[in-house]
């Protein structure tokens, strides 16, 4: 069975811990990054099923991380969920133009976060048992 993997990119330690915990409870193996540069390094560590990305990050902005994910052939189809305090329509429009798949404005509830994650990463369910020969 494939273990789903997620990357949480968030510079606020409390938010980072909370989102990672929720994803862990949803069955994800979770990697974290606290800035854009670290996020880009983490993307090279192997296939992911989801990136939860804050926009206001140190070193490299979340907008630039989103654009980099979409430019790389191995990550072009990777679901990106923006989790940001940026509520202005132009921020959402820019993120969508760069290829994000979902956009949650902080503060949001754990149930709103879980619903957005489920929408972007439907649980494939258990793998079918193979017949013994």
What number is the average pLDDT over the span 25-29?
Answer: 97
55 within 8 A of 106, measured Cβ to Cβ: no
Measure the CA–CA gap between 103 and 8, rounded to whole angstroms.
14
- pTM beyond cutoff 0.75: yes
| CB contact at 8 A, 75 and 101 | no
CA distance 51 to 125: 20
Give the per-residue pLDDT at 131.
Answer: 43
How many percent of the chain have pLDDT more than 70?
90
What's the confidence (pLDDT) of residue 15? 97
- Res. 46 pLDDT band, cuts 50 70 90: confident
Per-residue model confidence as pLDDT tens digits over 91-130: 999 999 999 999 999 999 999 999 999 999 987 655 544 4
Which residue reads 């956009």 in tokens? 103
CA–CA gap between residue 106 and residue 94 (Å, rounded): 17
- Going along the chain from its start, the domains and CATH numbers come out as 5-120 (3.40.50.2300)
Q: Can you read off the two tokens belonging to residue 107?
A: 């503060």
Burial call 19-45: b when 16+ CB within 10 Å, e when fewer = bbebbeebebebbbbbbbebbbebbee
């Amino acid at each position: 069975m494939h273990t789903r993997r997620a990357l949480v990119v968030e510079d606020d330690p409390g938010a980072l811990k909370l989102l990672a915990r929720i994803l862990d409870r949803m069955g994800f193996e979770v990697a974290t990054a606290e800035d854009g540069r670290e996020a880009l390094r983490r993307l090279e560590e192997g296939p992911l099923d989801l990136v939860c990305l804050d926009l206001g990050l140190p070193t490299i902005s979340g907008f630039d991380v989103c654009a980099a994910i979409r430019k790389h052939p191995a990550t072009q189809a990777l679901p990106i969920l923006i989790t940001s305090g940026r509520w202005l329509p132009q921020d959402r429009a820019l993120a969508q133009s760069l290829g994000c798949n979902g956009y949650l404005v902080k503060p949001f509830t754990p149930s709103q976060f879980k619903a957005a994650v489920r929408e972007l990463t439907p649980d494939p369910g258990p793998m079918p048992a193979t017949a013994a020969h």
